[in-house]
A = this chain, B = another copy of it.
Amino acid sequence: MTTAPISTATAARAELTALLRDVEVGLADHLALESARRAHPDPRGALPVLDIAALVHAGGKRLRPLFCLTGFLAAGGVPGSLPVPAAMAVELLHIGALIHDDVMDDSSLRRGAPTVHARHALEHKENRWRGEPRRYGEAMAILAGDLAWTYADGLMAGYGADVAREWCEMRSELCSGQALDVVAAAEFAADPLLARHIAVVKSGRYTIQRPLTLGALIAGRPDLAPAFAVYGEALGEAFQLRDDLIDAFGSSDLSGKPAGLDFAQHKMTLLISLAMRHNAEVRALVERQAFDELRDHLVVSGALEAVEDHIGDLVRTARTAIAEAPISDEWHDELCVLAVQVAYRDR
Q: Which residues of A are at the interface with B, using a C-beta cutoff of 8 A?
A: 34, 38, 41-42, 44-49, 100, 103-104, 106, 124, 127, 129-131, 135-136, 138-140, 142-147, 149-151, 153-154, 157-158, 161, 164-165, 167-168, 171-173, 175-180, 182-183, 185-188, 193-194, 197, 201, 265-266
Contact = CB atoms under 8 A, between A and B. Distances in A.
Contacts of A158: 161, 164
30 contacts: A34-B172, A41-B194, A41-B197, A47-B179, A48-B176, A103-B142, A104-B135, A104-B142, A104-B143, A129-B187, A129-B188, A131-B186, A131-B265, A136-B186, A144-B175, A144-B179, A146-B146, A146-B171, A147-B171, A147-B175, A150-B168, A150-B172, A151-B172, A153-B171, A154-B165, A154-B167, A154-B168, A154-B172, A157-B157, A157-B161
Secondary structure of the A side of the interface?
Answer: helix
A141 to B, nearest CB: 9
A186 B137 CA distance: 11
Contacts of A188: 129-130
A179 B135 contact: no
B168 A157 contact: yes
Number of copies: 2
Given A100-B146, A164-B154, A186-B124, A138 B138 contact: yes
B143 A175 contact: yes
Nearest to A188: B130
A173 B37 CA distance: 10
Given A154-B164, A158-B161, A186-B124, A179 B48 contact: yes
Contacts of A179: 44-45, 47-48, 140, 143-144
Nearest to A97: B146
A185 B149 contact: no
A22 B290 CA distance: 56
Most B CB within 10 A of own CB, among A142, A178, A266: A142
Contact of A171 (B41, B135, B150, B201): B150
A197 B42 contact: yes
Contacts of A175: 48, 143-144, 146-147, 150
B104 A42 contact: no
Given A48-B176, A161-B158, A177-B45, A149 B147 contact: no
A151 B167 CA distance: 11
A123 to B, nearest CB: 9
